[in-house]
Amino acid sequence: MSSRAPRKPSPLATDTAAANDTTAAATPDLGERQLYINRELSQLAFNTRVLDQALDQRTPLLERLKFLLIFSRNMDEFFEIRVAGLKGQIALDRELPGADGMAPRQVLEEIAAIAHRQIERQYAILNERILPELAANNIRILRRDEWTHKQKQWVRRYFRTEVAPLVTPIGLDPTHPFPLLVNKSLNFIVRLDGVDAFGRDSGLAVVPAPRVLPRLIPLPPDIVEQGDCYVLLSSIIHAHAEELFPGMNVLGSYQFRLTRNADLALDPEEVEDLALALRGELYSRRFGSAVRLEVADNCPKDLSAYLLRQFGLTESELYEVNGPVNLARLFRIASKVNYPALQYKPFVPSLPKALEHAEDLFAVIARRDVLLLHPYESFTPVVDMLRQAAKDPQVLSIKQTLYRTGADSEIVDALVDAARAGKEVTAVVELRARFDEESNLSLASRLQQAGAMVIYGVVGIKTHAKLMLIQRREGSELVRYAHMGTGNYHAGNARLYTDYSLLTSDAALCDDVHKLFSQLTGMGKVLRLKKLLQAPFTLKQGLLDLIAREAEHVAAGKQARILIKVNALTDSKMIRALYQASIAGVRIDLIVRGMCCLRPGVPGVSENIRVRSVIGRFLEHSRAYWFANGGDPVLYLSSADMMERNLDRRVECAFPVENRKLQQRIHAALELYLDDNSGAADLQPDGSYRPATRATGEAVRDAQAQLLEKLCGVPA
């Protein structure tokens, strides 16, 4: 257990008659920009920590490759959304500095410096560490100069039968202007010599790689000496570029990739049909404004400059890379299943004893609340609860929110079955879940065709809460059962993300869930909830009150402590409240996976605050808010992070865990993260992170490994 003792209340917080004249001068200004870390730079720091995992020799090789590729995906989204947003502010002359005081132009300069350094480092890790280690384990990506005669023949046939028929080379001349290229697509700029059949001699062409073809192609076993060998589509096109330009001399062919603004812009006041408007926006996302250009590092400077001019980008937005420009496509290798020695040990999620042999989930939940911690404990009971409801003649209605689910998921299958069985099924589908919009449009259509009532939530406010409500006739009564979670209704994510699920029949909680659905589907004033905290109405103020109450407990000499686990902390009001509690002497431990704009350890302000980030096998996704409350602990689990968008512009909920045993179980798991000396890093006052260290002879404490061992029986 963590033994860090709280500091005494800061003298800055003293409130006595003698100090009345000096309090204003002594109390720090919590609005000072030096007390806040820029959110974009904090996000970059998280991405860098993900990349760091690719160097951790304790992690199996293919899993280290995954971390390297996850870094690529994270950076893609960072440029598509965050960088694009900053550039948009500048373009519209709406530069709004955050609490940290940094102007968008200044932030972009910092981003460029950090991103260039880390992306260069990423390719160095790939080329100098990961690829050689893969080759040592008989997994190879063969370069063109490594192809044998038989491999060259096979590649030539593949090019002529699979690639060439789908390629559309585009010569650049006055009648063929530079083409409009799809976001993140693989392309080649080709320098040519000669005159074509029509007398054209512009000397340049663009070759977009066919999007329907895989970027990584396995070679047949009969032309490979041993192990698994792959060739890149880019290598195949490079090797046969001259066949695309008959009679011309190809002087050079260089791959490049353009990243565009992928954020969707929907004006709630102008949207009449959200689904229709969203379909139009999804098309435009592919061709948003340019934000980044990646080119092979052997591309001549004049061609790089030419591309920059075409896309309206500057030199600082050019990234020259030593390898494939679309690294995320290497996930095909990282996800291979026939190299167990290079992957994490498999495990079977467990079940709580109450559910091990349960045939009637409703009977179990009627007796007690059931808490599940995914992925260590199975997500199956959540799916089974819905399946049972679909078949149970006593079940009358099912209501559910869907944020990231997948059109073909078991959850949607069960809802479809329920609707076809005549149940009243209502699905609140959030169409604007970023990068899942198309999938959500598809599942909404599928549910509607089955007879379910599909609601798209509230225009302008995303529905992010994770709620399911089942109403069942039991004798003469209508009984409600609810599922509330911190994560999405997505079975795949439930194997990769850490999240909590609560299955309950608590009458007050279920009534609150019912009221929340009524607000989403109907119209009316804010309904008073008994137990749930709900954004955008009561959640933010509720958390602020709980934080302030801990300061009161310190003043009264009672137990006071705050322990919070979230994905991000950026809301300035929340940060100021935590600073005030720290000044009062409250011990505060924050487990923040990603962005954190709070500066811990600042003398006189945040000396009592520690911030940890844990990155490991599973994505830390659960949100928990624990307060000592003078010895009578209060604990909420939530779908919401401590961000402005979650607290002010989303439908979120925080649900209390009141059972003492369940409270203690969650609290004990949170303490494991505070004691972690394996995958944890501590945020420093300057915004950097320092990896947790172990003293000589100290045992390794890995929170995720400990939970795997405790709940799944997997030895650490």
**Is the pLDDT at 374 greater than 60, yes or no?**
yes
Mean pLDDT of 453-460: 81
Q: For residue 131, name the pLDDT band (cuts at 50, 70, 90).
A: very high
Asked whether residue 651 is domain-assigned, the answer is yes
Are residues 447 and 386 located together in one domain of the fold? yes
**Mean model confidence pLDDT for the chain:** 89
Residue 200's pLDDT is 64
Q: Euclidean distance between the first and final Cα of the chain, in Å?
A: 19
Grouping H, G, I as helix, E, B as strand and the rest as coil, residue 616 is: coil
The verdict on 135 and 221 lying in the same domain is: yes
Residues 6+ apart with CB under 8 A from 206: 169, 170, 172, 178, 179, 181, 187, 188, 189, 190
Across the range 134-144, mean pLDDT stands at 95
Query: Per residue in 40-93, pLDDT tens?
Result: 999 999 999 999 999 999 999 999 999 999 999 999 999 998 999 999 888 887
Show which of 490, 508, 528 is a domain's final residue: 528
User: Which pLDDT belongs to residue 429?
Assistant: 86
- Position 461 in a domain: yes
Per-residue pLDDT for 438 more than 80?
Answer: no
Residue 235 sits in the same domain as residue 357: no
- Tell me if 2 is assigned to some domain: no
Is 268 in the same domain as 149?
yes
User: 664: helix, coil or strand?
Assistant: helix
Q: Comparing 452 with 125, which gets the higher pLDDT?
A: 125
Residues in the chain: 716
More confident: 166 or 277:
166
Q: Does 23 map to a domain?
A: no
The CATH number assigned to the domain holding 691 equals 3.30.870.10
Query: Per the domain annotation, does 212 fall within a domain?
Result: yes
Residues 189 and 251 in one domain: yes
Q: Is residue 40 part of a domain?
A: no
Percent of the chain beyond pLDDT 90? 73
The domain total for the chain is 3
pTM of the model: 0.90
The pLDDT assigned to 460 comes to 77
Evaluate whether residue 252 is within a structural domain.
Answer: yes
Q: What is the pLDDT of residue 24?
A: 42
pLDDT at 513 over 80: yes
483 among known catalytic residues: no
Same domain? For 257 and 114 the reply is yes
Selecting among 238, 240, 374, 464, the annotated active-site residue is: 464
Domain assignment of residue 73, yes or no: no
Give me the domain span that covers residue 192: 104-342
Q: Report whether 276 contacts 215 (CB < 8 A).
A: no
pLDDT for the residue 17: 37
192/234 same-domain check: yes
Both 177 and 322 in a single domain?
yes
Tell me the mean pLDDT in the region 185-209.
84
The pair phi, psi for residue 472, each rounded to 5°, is -130, 135
The answer to whether residues 517 and 543 belong to one domain is: no
> Residue 65: its pLDDT value, please?
97
Name the token pair of 71.
Answer: 């870094």
pLDDT tens digits along 686-716: 999 999 988 888 899 999 999 999 999 888 6
Question: In whole angstroms, what is the distance from residue 498 CA to residue 182 CA?
Answer: 34
| Helix (H) or strand (E) run with residue 307 in it | helix 301-311
Cα separation, 119 vs 322, in Å, equals: 10
Predicted pLDDT of residue 173: 77
Do 560 and 496 fall into the same domain? no
Q: Are residues 519 and 392 in the same domain?
A: yes
Taking CA atoms, 344 is separated from 54, 125, 496, in Å, by 14, 20, 12
Q: Do 266 and 140 fall within a single domain?
A: yes
The CATH number of residue 253's host domain is 3.30.1840.10
Q: Percentage of the chain surpassing pLDDT 70?
A: 91
Give residues with Cβ within 8 angstroms of 145, minimum separation 6.
none
Highest mean pLDDT out of 70-74, 179-183, 337-341: 70-74
Q: How much is the average pLDDT of 653-673?
A: 97
What is the 3-state composition of the chain as percent helix, strand, coil, each rounded to the nearest 5? Answer: 40, 20, 35
Q: Which of 342, 370, 389 is the last residue of a domain?
A: 342
Which of 136-145, 161-170, 283-292 is predicted with the least confidence, judged by mean pLDDT?
Answer: 283-292
Helix (H) or strand (E) segment spanning residue 438: helix 437-450
